[in-house]
A and B are shown apart, each in its own frame.
Chain A
Amino acid sequence: MKHCLIVDDSRVVRTVAGRIVKDLSFSVSEAADGAQALEMCRTEMPDAILLDWNMPVMNGLDFLRALRREEKGQEPIVVFCTNENDSEHISEAIRAGANEYIMKPFDADIVESKFAEVGLV
């Protein structure tokens, strides 16, 4: 079973996204900010990361840049999932190493479609 780390400071979003990703046959773990997520990745690198942008302590973009510098940090497929929906933010995320981008609000079909785009399902 593939493992997806959901990184979002909103417990509601983590719960909703977690249910959707579990339905896609992933095991799920959660982190509330980038720093916590980075620690978890150092322990066990997930197959996929669903990543919010604006979070306390370390935001999504800083986390992604740090992750890609880690040993094996290139391996996880990172899908941003954020309210930052303008072209500049999207371009910045892709430059930093994001594989896909979900604009909030989202539903199960969007998550499945985006995961399919990057070969996760």
Chain B
Amino acid sequence: MQETTFNELADLALRQSGQSIPASKSYLMEARLSTIARRENFATLDDLVHCLKARPNPRFEQEVAAALTGKSTSFFGDRELLDKIVGQALPKRLEYSKTGRLRVWCAGVSTGQEAWSLAILLREAVGSPLANAEIEIIGTDLSTLCIETAKQGVYGHFDVQKGLSIHRLMTNFDRHDNGDWSVKPDLQKQVSFRRHNLLEPARDLGQFDIVMCCNVLNGLAKGAQQQVVETLSAHLLPDAFLFAGTGEDLQGISPSIKPSRALRGAFERDISVKKTEAA
């Protein structure tokens, strides 16, 4: 890969997703873009970048930027966090809900497995107070292609065998003749997906009881991390919970959030920041 190609791709990643890729990790670009390059018949990444410059295509740029993030996802990939959300965070929010309606935002959801996993756990919460709650899950991602996959809810033979027990697969998916599996229609009613870049405001998303953002912040430039956290925190209802993935730390990224007093490991919007700014 030529140095100019690396620079173009690094600039694209930073511009589109806030990701910072140092020159020492140029090999990651080769690995992460190999599938797209092969599919689009580019012999080298130099050819791919040349095409991007010669014939600008916003959708393809998005796809390249999304591939550069290298986010891998699987069903129940962060089981510890999902258990905490279903076992603790949502029941706490339900206690204070007057309507029995709760909203969850899965930010950076890639091809949707995280959102479907949450929906499956909620479906299994028979006997819990959550069984009677109306819980809406919204997944967003930078990549139009990923969101299209998530919306279809159709996953291949290998995808459904990583993280899903056979019992959960049979209960929540229908098998197609070609060997793919699709999320059952009743589960699909609970989850919706839309494209959104976390570096941009999301005015029409509304406010949430839970915002989860797993494996997104690692690898972002510092300024981009702060921007993303501020976007996320702006959509938290009062005392609502913000979670990063297990092992990721939100501490110190933005003054807009602070550790939750109600739930260890969660963060909440720091309303004193706004008040101080206003004063």
Contacts and interface: CB of A to CB of B under 8 A. Distances in A.
Given A85-B179, A87-B175, A106 B170 contact: no
Nearest to B167: A94
A103 B157 contact: yes
B161 interface: yes
Interface string B145-165: 000000000000110011101
Given A86-B175, A107-B158, A110-B158, A100 B170 contact: no
B170 A87 contact: yes
Interface string A39-63: 0000000000000000000000000
A117 B179 contact: no
A109 interface: yes
B162 A113 contact: yes
Contacts of B166: 90, 94, 98, 100-101, 114, 117
A113 B161 contact: yes
**Highest count of chain A CB atoms <10 Å: which of B158, B162, B163, B166:** B166
B97 to A, nearest CB: 33
A86 to B, nearest CB: 6
A116 to B, nearest CB: 9
A101 B166 CA distance: 6
Given A85-B179, A107-B158, A110-B158, A90 B170 contact: yes
Contacts of A107: 158
Q: Size band of the A side of the interface?
A: 10 to 19
A90 B165 CA distance: 12
Interface string A61-95: 00000000000000000000000011100110010
Contacts of B179: 85, 103
B266 to A, nearest CB: 26
A74 to B, nearest CB: 18
B170 A102 contact: no
A109 B162 contact: yes
B175 A113 contact: no
B161 A103 contact: yes
Contacts of A87: 170, 175
B165 A117 contact: yes
A110 B161 CA distance: 6
Contacts of A94: 166-167, 170
Contacts of A106: 161
A101 B157 CA distance: 12
B162 A110 contact: yes
A100 B162 contact: no
A101 to B, nearest CB: 4
**The 7 nearest A-B residue pairs measured at CB:** A101-B166, A117-B165, A110-B161, A113-B162, A87-B175, A100-B166, A109-B162
20 contacts: A85-B157, A86-B175, A87-B170, A90-B166, A91-B170, A94-B166, A94-B167, A98-B166, A100-B165, A100-B166, A103-B157, A103-B161, A105-B157, A107-B158, A110-B161, A113-B161, A113-B163, A114-B165, A114-B166, A117-B165
Interface of B: 157-158, 161-163, 165-167, 170, 175, 179
